[in-house]
């Protein structure tokens, strides 16, 4: 099993003393991190993380946006390691919370490492290293309290919440790629990507450069427009509903936003998958960065729509056929 990449250079006298103390207190503790690959369900944009041990090296290599393994072409960089071992010390705290819909233990983990974990920085957002220790599965979302002379590195994060366990895939039998997760109109909006990529709200790729748009559907805005759903002879369920959809667009000019708005109107007329219940108006929102004294190019369009949820499921099935292609070759004669 490979060990963590170390940074070059000898430790300072303070750093050497602290390292000795850390090893004494932690009894030379080590953590093993396992590589996971990000997989986005094309039906509705839900994110899953698949254990890299279930995937081939070429699949892991091609998961990065910087590399792509083409026919008869050698890799430009080595594939990330599936396991790394890091020496350091784990600190954690736990608190029981009694919430409306669950009782959960919220823990906070701090891992103090003797080296800067270069592997965490050398991979892109499509890959992630995850550790399991004392029954907790965790990774980190921040590094803080760094003091160069101390030469210690503090990584902080929360263990995997129990309700998030479905998103971590350690067996392909647990990974259902044929059924949509969401019950709202999100699958429809993800198909409207002619002008820029569309992402579900809170699931936009890390540090994504514009142009792109996020789709936010307020859960409480989904309401019934008919007194009862229609159940057909084959038990199909048809429910006419309405909801409010907020489209946030980054990196476009006014004419781009207007063209997208017209594109949605035309889609409604051509397909009848959604009905427009309001007259949307494009609005400019202010997102600032004081260090540079600038504003982001952000526009917001809010649609009030109606649709049949069964239509959403049909669109999701079309996306499955479009996204997953399986080609096989055989020398045997076709029957």
- Residue 319's pLDDT is what? 67
- Residue 78's pLDDT is what? 63
* pLDDT above 60 (res 107): yes
* pLDDT above 70 (res 125): yes
Higher pLDDT, 226 or 282: 282
> Can you tell me the distance from the alpha carbon of 189 to that of 212, in angstroms, rounded to the nearest whole number?
13
* pLDDT above 80 (res 183): yes
Residues written for the chain: 335
Mean pLDDT of 52-69: 66
* pLDDT above 50 (res 163): yes
Q: Give me the phi and psi of 90, to 5 degrees please.
A: -105, 130
Are the C-beta atoms of 302 and 295 separated by less than 8 Å? no
C-alpha distances out from residue 73 to 61, 100, 239, Å:
13, 55, 51
* pLDDT above 50 (res 69): no
Does this model's pTM top 0.85?
no
Quick one: which of 149, 170, 165, 197 has its CA closest to 18? 149
* pLDDT above 90 (res 112): no
* pLDDT above 80 (res 335): no
Q: Mean pLDDT lowest for which of 19-28, 175-184, 257-266, 295-304?
A: 19-28
Quick one: which of 225, 226, 199, 234 has its CA closest to 213? 199
Q: Mean pLDDT lowest for which of 27-36, 44-53, 113-122, 296-305?
A: 113-122
Higher pLDDT, 193 or 19: 193
- Transcribe 18-47 into DSSP letters: HHHHHHHHHTS-EEEEEEEEEEE-TTT--E
Q: Mean pLDDT lowest for which of 30-39, 59-68, 69-78, 127-136?
A: 69-78
- Residue 320's pLDDT is what? 62
Q: What is the residue whose two structure tokens read 């907020």? A: 246
Indicate the average pLDDT of the chain.
82
Band of residue 8 on the pLDDT scale cut at 50, 70, 90? very low
Collapsing DSSP states into helix, strand and coil, what is residue 331? coil
Beta carbons within 10 angstroms of residue 27's beta carbon: 7
- Residue 34's pLDDT is what? 92
Q: Give me the phi and psi of 144, to 5 degrees please.
A: -140, 180
* pLDDT above 80 (res 221): yes
- Residue 2's pLDDT is what? 47
- Residue 5's pLDDT is what? 46
């Amino acid at each position: 099993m490979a060990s963590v990449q170390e940074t070059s250079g000898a430790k300072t006298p303070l750093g050497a003393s602290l390292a000795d103390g850390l090893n004494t207190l932690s009894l030379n503790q080590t953590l093993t991190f396992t590589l996971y690959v990000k997989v986005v369900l094309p039906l509705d944009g839900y994110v899953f993380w698949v254990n890299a041990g279930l995937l081939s090296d070429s699949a892991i290599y091609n998961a990065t946006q910087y590399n792509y393994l083409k026919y008869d072409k050698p890799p430009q960089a080595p594939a990330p390691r599936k396991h790394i071992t890091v020496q350091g010390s784990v600190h954690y705290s736990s608190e029981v919370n009694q919430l409306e819909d669950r009782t959960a233990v919220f823990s906070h983990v701090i891992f103090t490492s003797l080296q800067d974990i270069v592997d965490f920085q050398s991979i892109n957002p499509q890959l992630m290293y995850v550790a399991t220790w004392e029954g907790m599965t965790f990774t980190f979302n921040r590094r803080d309290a760094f003091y160069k002379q101390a030469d210690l590195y503090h990584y902080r994060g929360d263990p995997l919440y129990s309700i998030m366990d479905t998103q971590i895939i350690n067996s392909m039998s647990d990974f259902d790629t044929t059924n949509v997760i969401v019950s709202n109109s999100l699958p429809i909006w993800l198909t409207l990507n002619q002008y820029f990529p569309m992402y579900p709200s809170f699931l936009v790729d890390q540090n994504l450069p514009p142009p792109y748009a996020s789709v936010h559907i307020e859960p409480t805005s989904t309401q019934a427009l008919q007194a009862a759903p229609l159940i057909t002879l084959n038990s199909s369920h048809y429910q006419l509903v309405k909801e409010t959809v907020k489209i946030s667009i980054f990196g476009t000019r006014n004419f781009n936003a207007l063209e997208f708005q017209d594109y949605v109107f035309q889609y409604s007329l051509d397909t009848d998958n959604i009905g427009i219940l309001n007259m949307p108006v494009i609005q400019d929102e202010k997102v600032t960065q004081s260090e540079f004294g600038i504003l982001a190019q952000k526009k917001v369009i809010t649609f009030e729509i109606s649709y049949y949820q069964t239509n959403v499921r049909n669109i999701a099935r079309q996306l499955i056929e479009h996204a997953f292609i399986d080609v096989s070759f055989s020398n045997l004669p076709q029957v």
